[in-house]
Structure 1
Amino acid sequence: MRRNLPLRFEFIPYPIWRRKMPKVINTLTKPIIQRFYPLAYDETPPPDPASMADVLVRYRLLPDMTLTEIHQALLESQAQIENAYSDVTPDFLSTPEAPARIPAQWETMESIIVTWPTIYPPLWDLHSEMVEAIAPVAEAVIIVPGELWAHAAWVYLMQRGNLGTYQNRVKFLVLPIDDIWVRDYGPIVCLDDAGHQIAFSAVYDHLPKYPQTRDNAMPWHWAAYMGMPIFSLNLHTEGGNLLSDGTGTLIMSEQIFRANPKYNRQTLEDYLHTVFQYDKLIITPKLALEHTGHVDLLAKLANANTVLVSAPTSASTAAQLRANITLFNRETNAIGEHYTVFELPTPPLYFNWGAYAIRRSYTNSLIVNGRVLVPIYSLKEDDTALRIYEEAMPDYEIIPIDCTSGINGGGAVHCMTKEVPAKAN
């Protein structure tokens, strides 16, 4: 178990070398950063298996294998890889003929998308855990920026040895991306009136000091590869700030108005009605000292009338969390049902390197085909959170995922995954 220290000095899963900063600072910090991140291959993957083997050895990703063994394993890799990049030009003015339904996460999912943390070696275990938990119940689609990264990830997964007979449920797509937060920039896949899949892409620009062009284009390339119609969602927002119960209720935090100041409550609802089928929009508070403002850090729908929320046990954000609990105790869903509210523990905030405020949330989980992947943080609160999930969702298999390293980027399981709902029968 970890101590809840208010100040930490831990790995940062952000491409901090890409951040806009004075040139002199960039020059001074680069040699230090290179010790922990494979900067040489940030933009261009290693050119051959021998170079990739060197990377895996240098960052101790496969400590039980020799350089020669890793090289040979890369050459013999049986990873399923497809190139999903295309010359598609995003049409930011496109709109659907009719509003589409956002399925709830507990509906049948065809696949789950994750982006492999190629440049974040400490996160390879976390992403492996997620893939291993997804593959038995859905296809795990792993985005990588180059084919050799796919082979490296495959060798890593094979060395862990936990996929068993589900190896064929893991597929790699080569796509240019900037970072791992696929929940936020990935496609919002919906179903039209005929039950066919269509996708939406919002404007992804919430980290202005970092490059985001490739992430912003990712849904368009993915949809072209899938042969799926895709339309523009004319909102500056991210997937982490949109929850749906599939039967008419949408939930967002008040961050939506900060990111889109031209909208008020009425004009936002009017616009959303043109793209999504819904009857009621619930707006939650935004957490203090938390830069994303996403609703998935303070609420999780277990079903249409059950919600898990973060309890007001962290002093720095207690007021917002109390207001959130009051909101769900008072509100009903779109069909008039009151919510059953379960309170999850909220570990105290800490600062990583004195600059990054880190909030650990147990609501940042993923539901997929009878399983719930719940983030844990090597804390005593983990057991309490898992027990509450078991109580709130007794028909599901609750699977803990260690997000101790990943949370230093500001997100956990939900932030690093994106579901693709199955077509209606």
Structure 2
Amino acid sequence: MVNDTETNFLYLADTLPIKYPSFFKRLEALLIRCEVSYGLLPGTKDIWAVDYMPIQVGLEKFVQFSYNPSYLQGPKYADLITDSDKVCEQIGINPVKSTIVLDGGNVIRCDDKVIMTERIFKDNPNYDKDLLITQLRELLEVEHIYLIPEQPYDFTGHADGMVRFVDDNTILVNDYQRESKRFQQAFDAAIRKTGLDTIKVPYNPYDNKGTYSAVGDYINYLQMEDIAIVPTFGIAEDDAVVKLLESVFTNSKLVTIDASDIAKDGGVLNCISWNIRIDGSLKLIE
């Protein structure tokens, strides 16, 4: 499994500069300043690139899951579903195909471990649960798949706004002390079951209008080789989160960007990023 900290090339959707020109301008300037190599994915229909693009398992192995999430069902959402096959063809990737319905934002990975939410079962009701997990382990080439409950009110059911790996033994988790006791207990039990050490990250979406906005969800950062780009939102928790993550990412350069624009529409930095490892014989079209 290729970890975020091993990735050295960033793809963004070509819809991002169209739909969020001010944010893209800030992000592009930051990427250039930090010498992050990047390109635009052609022919996308929305900005959430991590969800519809394949998972990189090895340097030259990508697994393309079915991008057909429950929250985009019906004709009114057809214009939001990117044809991943066409995008991959245009940039020179030939992924292994799977009929399993799974968004990339629900795959949190590190070496031989993956964390995802139980949304995987809702999106694949025709699969036996044990068989589904076995097939996922084989496709992703990991030993462990840890399941956590979906966060209440998150229509996507993704894990990338809930937990992230620091290393093979440690994860960052949102501080859910203001969530319901029922969810806290289920989440804490699932995390304990992993046996991983945890570091709590401040989390405050509670002043947002409605449940759609991701403002206050810092754990949805972008991490690549030698750099972590952390979102800020102009709220009280910004400074505490940056200070905490500076102490965590001691081997990476940490920079910040105001991500309020995209967060108000439901996603943050990991959501818009398809960061991969390019090396040796793997030559993609930028």
Residue 331 (structure 1) aligns with: 194
Q: Does 1:390 align with 2:246?
A: yes
Q: Quickly say closer, same or farther: Cα 1:349–1:237, change in 2 above 3 A.
A: farther
1:313 to 152, 156, 177: 177
- In the other structure, the counterpart of 1:225 is 90
Residue 130 of structure 1, CA deviation? 2.9
1:56-67 alignment, distance < 5 Å: none
Assess, with a 3 A threshold, how the Cα gap between structure 1 residues 321 and 386 changes in structure 2: closer, same or farther.
farther
In the alignment, what sits opposite 2:125? 261
Q: Alignment identity in percent?
A: 18
* CA deviation string 1:207-263 (max 9, x = no partner): 12443467441x3223223332222222222111001102x1111111111111223
1:351 and 1:390, CA in 2 relative to 1: closer, same or farther beyond 3 A? closer
Aligned to 2:26: 129
Change (3 A) 1:363 1:321: farther
CA distance in 2, matches of 1:421, 1:129: 24
Match of 1:345 in 2: 202
Distance of 1:348 and 1:138 partners within structure 2: 29
Alignment of 1:9-408 (within 5 A): 102-107=1-6, 109-115=7-13, 116-120=15-19, 123-135=20-32, 136-143=34-41, 175-191=42-58, 195-205=59-69, 206-209=71-74, 210-212=76-78, 215-217=81-83, 219-246=84-111, 248-315=112-179, 317=180, 319-321=182-184, 323-332=186-195, 339-350=196-207, 352=209, 356-359=211-214, 360-408=216-264
What is the RMSD of the two structures over their aligned residues, measured on CA atoms? 2.4
- Is 1:112–1:134's contact at 8 Å kept on the other side of the alignment? no
TM-score, normalised by the number of residues in structure 1: 0.60
How far apart, CA to CA, are the structure 1 residues paired with 2:192 and 2:29?
Answer: 36
2:150 counterpart SS class:
coil
Decide which structure has the larger Cα Rg and report it: 1
Q: CA 1:180 to 1:233, structure 2 compared with 1: closer, same or farther past 3 Å? A: same
Superimposed CA distance per residue, residues 91-111 of structure 1 (whole angstroms, 9 cap, x where no aligned partner):
xxxxxxxxxxx311111x241
CA distance in 2, matches of 1:140, 1:110: 9
Change (3 A) 1:211 1:330: closer
Q: Distance in 2 between matches of 1:214 and 1:286?
A: 23
Matched position secondary structure for 2:5: coil
Please state whether the residue corresponding to 2:247 is helix, strand or coil: helix
- The runs of 4+ residues in structure 1 deviating greater than 6 Å are none
Letter in 2 for 1:395: N
Choose between structure 1 and 2 for higher RCO, CA contacts under 8 A separated by at least 6 residues.
2
Query: What is the alpha-carbon distance in structure 2 between the residues aligned to residue 410 and residue 372 of structure 1?
Result: 21
For the residue of structure 2 that corresponds to 1:190, the secondary structure is strand
Q: Using the alignment, how far apart are the partners of 2:172 and 2:63 within structure 1? A: 27
2: CA distance, partners of 1:399 / 1:390: 9
One-letter amino acid matched to 1:377: F
Partner of 1:358, secondary structure, is: coil
CA distance in 1, matches of 2:256, 2:221: 9
Question: Normalising by structure 2, what TM-score?
Answer: 0.86
Check 1:351–1:377 CA distance in 2 against 1; reply closer, same or farther (3 A cut). Answer: closer
